[in-house]
Structure 1
């Protein structure tokens, strides 16, 4: 395990029936960095995130978060430890208001209403649209607003590591730029981010470091800017 790694994964394998979806991958996420996991549909990216969050059973491998073995930890305890995931498809609670969704994001916290209210105000400063729609049902929001809400709700859990699964999916380019700008901002404030993203160009431009997966295996890794200029990445994912 790397001395600097906030999250370290060794030999992670995941099976769906007879299908070996993830095949013994190793990952190291440095504290304070944005790390991207990129690849085509079906490469094993979402499955990897779900396993880190304890939502999918591992066939083999070990996951250490801030030096603690969380390989067999229950999902709610993983969240309480500071590792929080924003699911693919956003998963907002559509019959609750924006504010109620945010409040639910803080369910593991025990630091009092004043601290939680202060963090709601911070979310509203990051995503002013959520402040405007605080009393609206989450189901009435646009796709981009729901993605903002999903990220805001995760931030209410006070993560030390934020996992994001396909945050750009189905969104207009201007909204994607807005969300990625916000991710850059919260990372600059000290939050470590692990980003799974099909938009390879956007992800590599944002990430300090990245891993490329194919058929459940890591085939390339390096600094984001280096991979962006790698002819193999350009040929496979960027249409060059």
Structure 2
């Protein structure tokens, strides 16, 4: 297999005296969907927050195409090409849908014409957002807000898209739509790192998968391998 696009080595995160992530190693390969699954409190979201620079690492190294991101502040990590869609969407409810999307491009230094082209691509991906472009983001449904959060992240032109629990709180039919869209985005070449409690859905679309328990990686393999793994079936898929 080719060298890792995103390499995480020995990542540790502590909250006070509690070690939430205990020296994990991860590899993401370019153009693939990689998922990190596990129970509530296992360390999934903390891992993403550490990669994004939003919580402090106690130890570890994060490199993207050889560039060391470990000590960079969050906005520099975004500029380097790693962009996170936060758990809970974090849409700016008093701004319009269009304003939210345009804010996603705040680190870019290219011209307005290129940003507008990308905005139209987001609208093609999520037609509902185009319909609601001039309305307040706070008036969107949960599923529409998730679409907006993904669209806003894509406006930053990421090389790696990090997603934290995109299915949380959404109706099953909306979850299917979101996962279908993630596959479509990935087919366009974007590398995706997905943290998700909906283990079955995540493993179905993942090229590579890791299982985390109490801050440690306990299993890894292809998505299909882990779907068939008896330990994963017993623990997360109801046998």
TM category (shorter chain) comes to over 0.9
Provide structure 1 residue ranges, at least 5 long, that are not aligned to the other structure.
none
TM-score (norm 1): 0.99
Matches within 5 A, 1:29-40: 29-40=28-39
Structure 1 CA distance, aligned partners of 2:145 and 2:223? 28
Question: Corresponding residue for 1:6?
Answer: 5
Question: Corresponding residue for 2:175?
Answer: 176
Structure 1 CA distance, aligned partners of 2:162 and 2:97? 21
Structure 2 CA distance, aligned partners of 1:3 and 1:124? 34
Deviation at 1:3, TM superposition (A): 5.3
2:156 maps to 1:157: yes
Runs of 4+ in 1 over 4 A off after TM superposition: none
Secondary structure of 1:164's counterpart equals: strand
Structure 2 CA distance, aligned partners of 1:24 and 1:149? 33
Deviation at 1:4, TM superposition (A): 1.9
Question: Corresponding residue for 1:238?
Answer: 237
Aligned residue pairs: how many? 239
Structure 2 CA distance, aligned partners of 1:213 and 1:72? 24
Provide structure 2 residue ranges, at least 5 long, that are not aligned to the other structure.
none
Deviation at 1:6, TM superposition (A): 1.1
Question: Corresponding residue for 2:94?
Answer: 95
1:196-238 superposed Cα distances (whole Å, 9 cap, x missing partner): 0000000000100000000000000000000000000000000
1:58-111 superposed Cα distances (whole Å, 9 cap, x missing partner): 111111111011100111000001000000000000000000000000000111
Question: Corresponding residue for 1:71?
Answer: 70
Question: Corresponding residue for 2:116?
Answer: 117
Structure 1 CA distance, aligned partners of 2:69 and 2:127? 35
1:22-55 superposed Cα distances (whole Å, 9 cap, x missing partner): 0000000000000000000000000000000001
2:81 maps to 1:60: no
Preserved contact between residue 4 and residue 31 of structure 1 (Cα < 8 Å): no
